[in-house]
Structure 1
Amino acid sequence: MKALVLAGGYATRLHPVTLEASKPLLKVNGRPIVDYVLDGIETLGDVDTTYVVTNAKFFQDYAAWAKNQQRRFDVVPLNDGTTSNADRLGAIGDIQFAIEMQSIDDDLLVVGGDNLFDFSLRPLRDLQRQTGRSVLGCYDVGSLDLVSLYSEVHIEKGLVSSFVEKPDTPTSPLIGILCYALRRQDLPLVRRYLREERSPDKAGHLIQWMRTVTEVAAYVFEGRWIDIGTRAELERAEKQWSGRV
């Protein structure tokens, strides 16, 4: 299995902090956020290479960071060639960029580089193997009001039956998080999605579409999870991971 960490965005909501630093390299309790992501990837046990796709602006920062990584797998930064938010490839564009650039022909774990969590990813991989399907990682945020900030997921018989980005009137506290175990056979669907001139930006739109052309399984994680998109979320993460709350 290969893993792909998405770190190619420009995090405009965190400006000015992210004008000079990539968001996944910001520190929480003394460690870059992306270090925690790699900790999670190590729990899978069968990943041989983890690609970290970033942009031209921050590529050298990731190259320096990767040299100091001592993991069970190779850590390989990729430069998607973009230099600003205006010419970004988008999350789905970066997934396809990595697949093409590295000729990936293997099951692929895709994780957002700004997702901070403390749970094992092994059950996601186990379910992918057991079902033979791609698997969406889900999380119960415990509040319908919060669901409107993310994506609403409904599950029936272990499969994603509905996926809606930022719903107006959600009825389920389950959201889809940027943590997907994509089976090798489904990787060509990323290119097909983009060829049909669909939005390359939000990764959730890929899953929203994929479930209409193939069955996608779902796994609900338990533990701590924060999608760091604002200064308030970064501060909350620092408090939680440093044990101050």
Structure 2
Amino acid sequence: MKAVILAAGYGTRLQRDVLADGSGRFAHLVGTAKPLLPVGRSALISHWVRALNASGCVDRVYVVTNALYFAAFEEWASHFSNVQVLSDQTGSNEERLGAVACLHLAVKRFQIEEHLLVIGGDTLFKEDFSLGRLKERFSALQARSDDSCLVLSYRCEDEETGRYGILEVDGDLRAVCMKEKPLPSETASRRACPCFYWLSKKSLPLLDAFIDEKKEAPVEDRDAPGNFVSWLIQRKPVYVHPVSGRFDVGNLNAYIECDLYFRENLQDAASYMV
């Protein structure tokens, strides 16, 4: 099994916050890709590689970044024997391919035909998240139907529905639909869907159809990876696994909160996310 970590974003909000900060405390973060930000004692993305290796879920990790950060990711990846970095060849946020197009690029370039973990490179989860438990859940779903995919959800507040893709599910925790940034009045669900997807190998060919369907659409339709999940829900069985929450390093305040937690509050670093 393989994993693709999506890391081709340009972190424009975070970089804007860092440059605007007058304290100088975060000057060392200027020009650093979000997945390479120091979180606790290692880079954010290193927490993922360590947990993926420790859990035995995958044998290869592919990281998709852009031309601007490619050299930095290559240097970071040199410390891991099973990590390979791919550039999407873009040099600015305006040129970006979008997350779904980057996922498609990795699947094609590395000829991935196995079950695939897709992970947002700027996200970490709270300590109830376990790759081992998720692997067991995915295997059980596959035993019932080898079309099955698995995504996560966590509870958001009413005022946050307009920031996320919101999953609606049936009694078997199968996703019925995902509404993109709905008003609180437009859905009774408060299940936010972060970028962590366990895609079955049978679902991967649908990336071709999605990309072809959206080829004339604005980049935003290929950017948020949830757009593909929303489309996939109508074509394959997609089930939901609840978790308590995540750290989403989108701006400087969110980064400070995440880094502080990993420095002072993480209970067991060795077993984190395993």
> TM-score when scaled to structure 1?
0.91
Residue 140 of structure 1, CA deviation: 2.2
Instruction: Give the alignment's TM-score, normalised by structure 2.
Output: 0.82
**Structure 2: how far apart are the matches of 1:160 and 1:227?**
23
1:10-29 paired onto structure 2 within 5 Å? 10-16=10-16, 17=18, 20-29=31-40
Q: Tell me, in whole angstroms, the C-alpha distance in 1 between the residues paired with 2:6 and 2:205.
A: 18
Say if 2:249 is the partner of 1:239: no
8 Å CA contact retained: 1:43, 1:120 = no
Q: Structure 2 vs 1, CA of residues 28 and 46 (structure 1 numbering), >3 Å: closer, same or farther? A: closer
CA contact (8 A) 2:57 2:131 kept: no
Alignment of 1:31-46 (within 5 A): 31-42=42-53, 44-46=55-57
Counterpart pick for 1:154 among 158, 168, 184? 168
Conserved in 1, the CA contact under 8 Å of 2:6 and 2:65? yes
Matched, 1:106 2:114: yes
CA distance in 2 between counterparts of 1:140 and 1:43 reads 28
Deviation at 1:43, TM superposition (A): 5.0
The SS at the match of 2:222 is coil
* Residue ranges of structure 1 left out of the alignment (5+ in a row): none
Deviation digits for residues 10-44 of structure 1 (CA, Å, limit 9, x no counterpart):
11111244761111101122321111222332354
Corresponding residue number in structure 1 for 2:130 = 120
Partner letter of residue 215 of structure 1? P
Deviations 1:37-63 (A, max 9, x none): 223323541311000110111111011
Match for 1:144 among 147, 153, 158?
A: 158
Separation of aligned partners in 1, 2:246 and 2:49: 15
| Aligned-pair CA distance for 1:125 | 2.4
Secondary structure of the residue aligned to 2:130 is coil
Bigger fraction of residues in strand: 1
> Secondary structure of 1:177's partner?
coil
Pairwise CA distance, 1:244: 6.2
Q: For residues 42-81 of structure 1, what are the structure 2 equivalents within 5 Å? A: 42=53, 44-69=55-80, 74-81=82-89
Who is 1:89 aligned against? 97
Distance 2:257 2:151 in 1: 25
- Secondary structure at the counterpart of residue 4 of structure 1: strand
Distance 1:44 1:194 in 2: 32
For structure 2, the residue ranges without an aligned partner over 5 or more in a row are: 19-28, 143-147, 267-274
Name the counterpart of 1:227.
Answer: 248
Letter in 2 for 1:130: A
> d(CA) in 2 for partners of 1:145 and 1:121?
30
Deviations 1:90-146, CA, capped at 9 Å, x for gaps: 1000000000111111110000000112421222222222112111121223x2222
Q: CA RMSD in A?
A: 1.8
Matched residue of 2:57: which SS? Answer: coil
Sequence identity, in percent?
A: 29
Matched positions, count? 240
Q: 2:199 aligns with which of 169, 182, 201?
A: 182
Letter in structure 2 aligned against 1:190: L
Contact 1:147 1:166 in 2 (8 A): yes
